[in-house]
Structures are given as C-alpha cells and as structure tokens.
Amino acid sequence: MAKRWLFLALIWISIYNSIYAQNEFSSEHLKETAINIGLSHLDTLKCGDNMVVLGKDTIIVRKNEDGVIDHIGKQLFPIMAREKNPLPVYDYMEYVYLNYLLNKDGNKLLFKDVAFIKGGWKELASVTSTDQCNISNIDNKAFQIEWKKDDKTLVSVLIPIRYDVLSNMSRTEMQNAFIQGEKKTTVKLSDEQMSQDTTKLTKTLVGDNEILYYKGNSYINEKITNNYYLVSNDSLLTPITDKDMPMESIANIMVLPSSKQIGNYKAKIRYLLSNNKIVEQTTTIRQIIDYAMKQGCKPYFGLEGIKDGVINFSLFLYNENSGYDHIFRLSCKTEEIGTDALTFTGRGSLYAPTTNVKSLYSDGDKKSNVTFKLNSK
C-alpha cells in the first residue's frame, strides 16, 4: 500500500511540474512564485498584463510578446502609470509584496532593501491601485514611492536604484535573457528623414568637408557622447556614412534611431558572462541597440582610436532608472563604412553596475583600457 501511494505521489508531482514546464518564465523566482500561489492556465493568458483573481486577491501576471511570463505580483500601481512612465520599481515592489503576503519569510534577503519611511508591509494592505501614487528619483540613487489618499500619506518607501535589487533575477539570468532577447528582436528601419532644422546644429570641418553636428549629452566624461553628424546633399540634411569620415559615421550608427538612412549591419559579439562563461553570437548592431533601448537604455559612443584602417570604439547602453550599463568594445574596417559589407566585431559586457562604470571612466583615457577586466568577473 505504501509503495502504491508513493507511486501515485510521484505521478502527481510529475504532472504538476510538467504543467509549469510548459510555460516559460524569465526567472526561476517567478516560476517558484507561480507554483507557490497555484497559478494555472498560464498558457491561455494574452500577451500583456493579465489580472488573475486568486481568492480575495487580484494578482497581476504579465506575458511578454515572446510568450514568456516576466512578472507576477500583487497589484499596487495603475496600469496607466506603467504605460506613461515605465519604471523597474513597479515590478519589483509588486513582486516583493506578493511574496511577503505568501509569508515565505525564510527569504529575508528579498525584503532587506525595502526601507519604509512611513507605514510598513501591513499598511500596504490598505493601498489600492486607484490611490494617488508619486514616484521620485533621488539623485539616481533611490526611488521614493508615496501612496496617498485624500492628500494624506499612507505609505512611503525607499528602494535603491540597483539592477541586482530591481530585477528579481540573478545577473547571469539577466545576461542570458538579453542575449536571447536581442537575437529575437525584429529591426524596423524607418523611412523618416532627419529633421531639416539647423538652429541647434554647428558647422565644422572634417578635412576639407564642411559638416554640421548636433552637440548632445556627454556620459561620464566629455569623450563619451551622443553627438551626431550630418551633411547637406542637394539641400537635404542626411546622416554621414562615409569611409572618409569614420568617427562621425560610426557615431551616427550607434546613437541615431533605426532608419534606412543609417542602415543595419552584422555584428559578431563575444559576450562575457558573470559566471565566467563565454557566449559568441552573430547578430546585427541594430538588434542589440534597439533591444536595449526598448528596456530603457540610452546609447553613447566613445572613440578609442583609428589605426591601420580599423576604428576601435566603445558603445555604452546606459539605463539610468535601473542603474546599469551594457558596454561593447567594438571595431570595424573603415573601408567597409558606407557599404553592406560593414561588420562589427568585439566584446560585450552586460549589466555592469553604473557606479563601477563611472568609477572606471571618470578619468577618461587613463582608465578606459581596464573596462573588461571588471566586467568579465
């Protein structure tokens, strides 16, 4: 009899696990949460946000466009707020609060970075997604979230702006998700022309060529910028993609939005993961940049040098709201610029803490050569 019950129990466990194996989750944490709360019929959920009623609670479950469950939490924020001002702190707070309600208090580390200024976990129970909610970024170091009812503060909490806190994923999980995500990204090259407004452009000479450039923002130091460069062809301003102006051309490809004027080119990347594994992937430069921008990153270009017909440079994809950078050290042949043969090769380091990156690059060229010693750990 005991053997029979053991046999039946094993069959049930096998069936139970297979139900969740059929659904893909962005992290093991989410899969465990789904099992703990008994979520079912996940395969029937639509892409986007789904409100699932479990007993007296409404759980928000999000399935991304690839069919992967990438968020499970107790709803605390209006959907409209997420759409107007997408921030990683939404997912983090809802996920952590749900796990608090599950009373899985063996994982104290999950809650240790939540610092309540007013109220606490119990007071969050009175918060609804219709209450007034204000989120402030404090010096790019922390988010302060305040829930109010009738202008009276119910709960106020501080969350550090660190990707390792906000992601609810290990760095390796995040890196693998990025590599898979950018490979699946569909690039849409816009037909849109560059703005013909010259009021914010400055004339300069590159050799004998008169060009116009837009002075954008610098990042970390004055040599890393999102400047872009234009030339007038038949009175029409177009981005420079010319082998005789390699720095200006590559800067444009890195920082300007996807367009037919810029093009898309092959990229052979050697990713260095935090678990010391190496992943080599052939993709395109726009898949990398467009996927990162979709996650909230801004691209910046930094020239390292041009020698023997090769341009070496760094691409920084900086996510201010999550406190991380993707850093790519790339090169290409200058003679290929302006042709379909243009190919970028190099190394990529994903989810490097911005505080570390700024420390390395704050003195400019003195520290730029040690970037991948840090990020390959």
pLDDT in tens, 16-55: 444 444 468 888 888 888 888 888 888 889 998 898 888 8
Question: Which pLDDT value is given to residue 38?
Answer: 86
Give the pLDDT confidence of 287-322 residue by residue, as tens digits: 999 999 999 999 999 999 999 999 999 999 999 999
User: How many Cβ atoms from other residues are within 10 Å of residue 149's Cβ?
Assistant: 13
**Is residue 130 pLDDT above 50, yes or no?**
yes
Name which of 10-14, 265-269, 316-320 the model is least confident about: 10-14
Q: Which residues contact 236 (CB under 8 A, 6 or more apart)?
A: 193, 196
**Is residue 250 pLDDT above 90, yes or no?**
yes
**Is residue 15 pLDDT above 50, yes or no?**
no
**Structural contact between residues 319 and 295, judged by C-beta atoms closer than 8 angstroms:** yes
Give the pLDDT confidence of 137-150 residue by residue, as tens digits: 998 889 999 999 88
Using CA atoms, how far apart are residues 349 and 376, in angstroms rounded to an integer?
A: 7
Using CA atoms, how far apart are residues 349 and 3, in angstroms rounded to an integer?
A: 52
Question: Which pLDDT value is given to residue 6?
Answer: 47
Average pLDDT over residues 324-351: 97
Question: Which pLDDT value is given to residue 208?
Answer: 85
Element (H, E) at 166: helix 163-166
**Structural contact between residues 187 and 287, judged by C-beta atoms closer than 8 angstroms:** yes
**Is residue 368 pLDDT above 70, yes or no?**
no
* pTM for this prediction: 0.81
Average pLDDT over residues 338-345: 97
Using CA atoms, how far apart are residues 328 and 269, in angstroms rounded to an integer?
A: 9
Q: Which residues contact 343 (CB under 8 A, 6 or more apart)?
A: 265, 266, 267, 268, 332, 333, 336
**Is residue 224 pLDDT above 90, yes or no?**
yes
User: How many Cβ atoms from other residues are within 10 Å of residue 251's Cβ?
Assistant: 27
**Is residue 364 pLDDT above 50, yes or no?**
no
Name which of 42-46, 90-94, 199-203, 237-241 the model is least confident about: 42-46
Average pLDDT over residues 168-176: 87
Read off the DSSP letter of residue 256: S
Average pLDDT over residues 214-231: 95
Question: Which pLDDT value is given to residue 147?
Answer: 93
Question: In Å, how far are 76, 89, 178, 184, 194 from 82, measured between CA atoms?
Answer: 11, 10, 21, 24, 30
Look at residue 314 and give its three-state secondary structure. Answer: strand
Average pLDDT over residues 216-236: 92
Name which of 16-20, 235-239, 274-278 the model is least confident about: 16-20
Question: Which pLDDT value is given to residue 372?
Answer: 31
Mean pLDDT for the chain? 86
Token pair belonging to 358 = 């700024």
Question: Which pLDDT value is given to residue 281?
Answer: 97
Look at residue 66 and give its three-state secondary structure. Answer: coil
Give the pLDDT confidence of 83-121 residue by residue, as tens digits: 888 889 999 999 999 988 886 544 566 778 899 999 998
